[in-house]
Every structure is written in structure tokens, then in C-alpha cells.
Amino acid sequence: MGGDQNMSDRESLRRLTRRDLLKATSAAGASFVVGAGFLAAPNAAWATQMDAIKPETFATLVQMARDIYPHDKVPDEHYVIAVKGYDTPESADMISTGIAALDARAQELKGANYLDIGWERDRVDVLRSMEEDAFFQTVRGGLVTGLYNQKAVWPIFGYEGSSFEHGGYIDRGFDDINWI
């Protein structure tokens, strides 16, 4: 039956036109558009397909990533790339269980699922209450490399990349730092 459901999801995704996607994304206040096996930005600037994790779970994971390492100038698509590695059969149970625990804690502390909490400060309170949990530590640790090793985000932070192949920092303007 699982194969029939996947086929049905794929067929409904194929029938989704760009116009349908844009209509769905125009809903006021939507953080993500969740569909059959996919997640998209409200402005349709990016979309990703899920293979092992439910789109709602993945949307919560992306919001969690943004709340752990918040950078207003970094677009959501980079957070999606950072956590996309968890969308595997091997990680699906851990992520689904962790997000369920996150939602339960959010319900307990704030009376809503994590993704439905409107204020970042309130979501951070929920995360702080879970920061010793293995799930939180796994996601936080994975984000360090998953987010900051993306060459596309380096210019946002003013990082020019490795200098070794250019003679090192001494020969490459080690003293041109303008943000200190």
C-alpha cells in the first residue's frame, strides 16, 4: 500500500501547476507551502521534495534550524540545504520522533505546535528547554557544517574562502578586515 500512496503523491505533484503553487503560496501568513511530498517558499522562490520525511516535519525542521542559527540575511533555501541530509530512511525515525517531542514541548510551554508559534522568542524558549536532548544536539551540530560550509552563504558573512591556494592570509590581505 505504501507504494500506491507514493505513486498517488507523485501523480498529484505532477498535476500541480505553477499557477496552483502560486495560489497556494499566497495564503496570508504562510511560512511554507506543504504539499504531497514537497515543501515550498510562500513566494515560490524555492521548493524541495521530501523522500523519507513528511513535508510538515521537514518544515518544522527548517524553522528549527533558522531559530538555532538565526541570520536575517540568509534565505530559507540555505537552511533547507543544511537539513536536507536528514531526509533519508536512516534518519527519518530520529527526525520524526524529535520533531514530535519538539511539538509536544511547544504545546506544553506555549499551547501550540512549534511551527505555529508566531514569535521567534517563544520558539527559542522551547528550544532552550530541549537543548540538552540528543535530538537538539544532533541537529545543532549538523547545522554547523551544513549551513556554514555552503559557499553560497560565505559572501553574506564576508568570508572569502580558503587562502592557502592564494599564498595564505599574510599574502592575501590579512589586515583588510573591516568588520572588527
pLDDT digits (tens, 9 = 90+) for 82-118: 999 999 999 999 999 999 999 999 999 999 999 999 9
Q: Which three cell numbers stand for residue 42?
A: 510562500
pTM of the model: 0.74
Q: Which three cell numbers stand for residue 33?
A: 507551502
* Whether the predicted pLDDT of 125 surpasses 90: yes
Q: Listing from the earlier edge strand, what are the strands of the sheet with 33-35?
A: 33-35, 38-40, 47-49
For residue 8, give Cα distances in angstroms to 11, 15, 100. Answer: 5, 11, 25
Q: Can you tell me the distance from the alpha carbon of 125 to that of 155, in angstroms, rounded to the nearest whole number?
A: 30
Work out whether the CA dihedral 72, 75, 78, 80 comes out positive or negative: positive
Half-sphere exposure of 41 (CA within 13 A, CB side): 11
CB 124 within 8 A of CB 117: no
Per-residue confidence band for 48, with pLDDT thresholds at 50, 70 and 90:
confident
CB 82 within 8 A of CB 61: no
Q: Which three cell numbers stand for residue 126?
A: 522551547
Q: Which three cell numbers stand for residue 30?
A: 504562510
More confident residue, 10 or 75: 75
Task: Specify the pLDDT at position 176.
Answer: 65
* Whether the predicted pLDDT of 155 surpasses 80: yes
Considering 50-54, 62-66, 176-180, the range whose residues carry the highest mean pLDDT is 62-66
Q: Report CA 80 to chain centroid distance, whole Å.
A: 4
Question: Strands (DSSP E) along the chain, which ranges?
Answer: 33-35, 38-40, 47-49
Per-residue confidence band for 2, with pLDDT thresholds at 50, 70 and 90:
very low
